[in-house]
Chain A
Amino acid sequence: EVQLLESGGGSVQPGGSLRLSCAASGFNFRIYGMSWVRQAPGKGLEWVSTISDTAENTHYADSVQGRFTISRDNSKNNVYLEMNSLRADDTAVYYCAKILWSSRIIDYWGQGTLVTVSS
Chain B
Amino acid sequence: DIVMTQTPLSSPVTLGQPASISCRSSQSLVHSDGNTYLSWLQQRPGQPPRLLIHKISYRFSGVPDRFSGSGAGTDFTLKISRVEGEDVGIYYCMQGTQFPWTFGQGTRVEVK
| A residues neighboring B (CB under 8 Å) | 35, 37, 44-47, 50, 59, 61-62, 95, 100, 103-112
| Residues in A whose Cβ lies below 8 Å from that of B48 | 95, 109-112
Q: List 16 other contacts, CB 8 Å, given A35-B101, A44-B104, A104-B35.
A: A44-B105, A45-B41, A45-B49, A47-B103, A59-B99, A100-B54, A103-B96, A104-B31, A104-B96, A104-B97, A104-B101, A105-B94, A106-B41, A106-B51, A107-B60, A109-B50
Instruction: Report how far A41 CA is from B98 CA in the complex, Å.
Output: 26
| B residues neighboring A (CB under 8 Å) | 1, 31, 35, 37, 39, 41, 43, 48-51, 54-55, 58, 60, 90, 92, 94, 96-97, 99-106
Instruction: Report how far A109 CA is from B43 CA in the complex, Å.
Output: 11
Interface SS of chain A: strand
| Residues in A whose Cβ lies below 8 Å from that of B55 | 103, 105
Q: Is the CB–CB distance between B37 and A47 below 8 Å?
A: no
Instruction: Report how far A47 CA is from B92 CA in the complex, Å.
Output: 12
Closest residue on chain B to residue A48 by CB atoms: B100
| Residues in A whose Cβ lies below 8 Å from that of B94 | 45, 105-106
